[in-house]
């Protein structure tokens, strides 16, 4: 590809995001308890950190996951007795996720397993830089998920 390729910055960005994602996945997979996947950790950790009673769809949206990925992850967590689904008290139709005592324990174990590595990742840049990068990536994810911009990409 020629150096003047107008898509080069975007392709480089996508490659960098992909590389960072895979490096983070490998780090988590190496540290998490056996049989516990990064997506499962993400759901349990989010419920423990941000509060229980979130809907699966709100969590899927926060992670940029398709509904099918979230449904599968919730089914596995529920079958292992780590979460329970209960009717949403606000509308009675949708469901909300709650940690079981076993799920709360596993969320804490998973967090402890990765804490020192996450702290080292945080030391790679100033806190403000990490926060800005996170905000920029969240903004990019929201724009890429905007169905008005990419109606056929759902």
pLDDT at site 102:
97
Structure tokens at 80: 């292992």
**pTM of the entire structure?**
0.84
Q: Where are the domains of the chain?
A: 24-124
pLDDT at site 101:
98
2 has a pLDDT exceeding 60: no
The residue assigned the tokens 């724009």 is 143
51 has a pLDDT exceeding 70: yes
Is 118:135 a contact under the CB 8 Å cutoff?
Answer: no
149 has a pLDDT exceeding 90: no
Determine the CATH number of domain 24-124: 1.10.10.10
Q: How far apart are CA 88 and CA 97, in angstroms?
A: 9
> What is the pLDDT of the chain when averaged over all its residues?
92
154 has a pLDDT exceeding 70: no
Lowest mean pLDDT among 7-16, 50-59, 85-94: 85-94
Q: pLDDT digit string (tens) for 104-148?
A: 999 999 999 999 999 999 999 999 999 999 999 999 988 888 877
Is 82:102 a contact under the CB 8 Å cutoff?
Answer: yes
């Amino acid at each position: 590809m020629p150096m003047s390729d107008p898509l080069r910055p975007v392709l480089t960005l996508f490659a960098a995001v992909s590389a960072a994602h895979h490096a983070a996945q490998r780090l988590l997979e190496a540290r998490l308890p056996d049989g516990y996947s990064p997506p499962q950790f993400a759901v349990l950790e989010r419920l423990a950190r941000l509060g229980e009673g979130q809907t699966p769809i709100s969590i899927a949206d926060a992670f940029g996951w398709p509904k099918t990925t979230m449904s599968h992850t919730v089914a596995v967590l529920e079958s292992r007795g780590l979460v329970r689904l209960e009717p949403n008290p606000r509308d009675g139709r949708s469901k909300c996720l709650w940690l079981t005592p076993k799920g709360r324990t596993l969320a804490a174990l998973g967090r402890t397993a990765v804490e020192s590595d996450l702290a080292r990742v945080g030391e790679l840049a100033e806190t403000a830089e990490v926060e800005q990068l996170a905000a920029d990536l969240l903004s990019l994810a929201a724009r890429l998920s905007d169905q008005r911009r990419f109606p056929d990409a759902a």
